[in-house]
Amino acid sequence: MEYRDEAPTGKLDLVVDLNFRMDTSALYSDIVLPAATWYEKTDLNSTDLHTFVNPMQAAVPPSWESKCDWDIYKAVAKKVSELAKVHLPEPVRDVVMIPLQHDTPDEVTQPTVADWKAGECEPIPGKTMPKFRVVERDYTLLYERMVTLGPGVEENGVAAHGLKIPVADEYQALAREQGRKFNGRVYPSLEESREVADTILRLDPVTNGELAYRAFVEEEHKTGRPLTHLAEGTRSVKYTFADLIAQPRRVLTSPTWSASINKGRAYSPFTLNVEELIPWRTLTGRQHFYLDHELYLQWGEHLPTYKPRPDHTMLDETQMTEAEAQGRLMNYITPHGKWSIHSTYSENHRMMTLSRGDYPIWLNDKDAEELGIKDNDWVELFNDNGVFVQRCNVSARIPKGTVFVYHATERTVGIPISPLRGKRAGMNNSITRARLKPVLMAGGYAQFTYAFNYWGPTGVNRDTNVFVRKVESVEF
Amino acid (1-letter code) at residue 103? D
- Structural domain includes residue 187: yes
CA distance 352 to 357: 4
Specify whether 115 is located in the same domain as 240.
yes
Among 275, 301, 320, the domain-final residue is: 275
HSE of 347, CA atoms in CB hemisphere, 13 A: 10
CATH number, domain at 363?
2.40.40.20
Strands 402-404 and 328-334 turn out to be parallel
Q: What is the pLDDT of residue 315?
A: 66
- Structural domain includes residue 198: yes
Specify whether 377 is located in the same domain as 267.
no
- Structural domain includes residue 306: no
HSE of 467, CA atoms in CB hemisphere, 13 A: 21
CATH number, domain at 171?
1.20.1700.20
Specify whether 322 is located in the same domain as 268.
no
Among 275, 297, 331, the domain-final residue is: 275
Specify whether 241 is located in the same domain as 333.
no
- Structural domain includes residue 60: no
- Structural domain includes residue 111: yes
- Structural domain includes residue 29: no
Specify whether 86 is located in the same domain as 217.
yes
Q: What is the pLDDT of residue 245?
A: 94
Amino acid (1-letter code) at residue 393? N
Give the count of beta carbons closer than 10 Å to the beta carbon of residue 349.
Answer: 8
Specify whether 318 is located in the same domain as 420.
yes
Specify whether 335 is located in the same domain as 411.
yes
Specify whether 268 is located in the same domain as 363.
no
Specify whether 108 is located in the same domain as 214.
yes
Specify whether 219 is located in the same domain as 362.
no
Alpha helices by DSSP H, listed for 109-192, are 142-146, 151-156, 168-177
Among 249, 275, 301, the domain-final residue is: 275
Specify whether 320 is located in the same domain as 228.
no
Shortest CA distance to 244 belongs to which of 47, 40, 42, 38? 42
Check: CB of residue 174 under 8 Å from CB of residue 199: yes
Q: What is the pLDDT of residue 436?
A: 43
Specify whether 394 is located in the same domain as 252.
no
- pLDDT by 10s per residue, the chain, length 476: 566 777 777 778 899 999 887 777 888 899 999 999 888 999 998 876 788 999 999 999 999 899 999 999 999 999 999 999 999 999 999 999 998 887 677 877 777 778 888 889 898 888 888 999 999 999 999 999 999 999 999 999 999 888 899 999 999 999 999 999 998 999 999 999 999 999 999 999 999 999 999 999 999 999 999 999 999 999 999 999 999 999 999 999 999 889 999 998 998 889 999 999 999 887 778 887 888 778 788 878 888 888 776 666 666 677 788 777 778 888 888 887 766 666 666 677 777 777 777 788 999 999 999 999 999 999 999 988 889 999 999 999 999 999 998 877 776 777 888 988 888 888 877 888 764 444 434 333 333 333 333 333 334 455 688 889 998 888 88
- Structural domain includes residue 59: no
**Count of domains in the chain?**
2
- Structural domain includes residue 352: yes
Q: Note down the domain range covering 387.
A: 312-471
Shortest CA distance to 394 belongs to which of 368, 372, 370? 368
**Residue 438 φ/ψ, nearest 5 degrees:** -75, 130
316-330 b/e (C-beta count within 10 Å ≥ 16 → b): ebbeebeeeeebebb
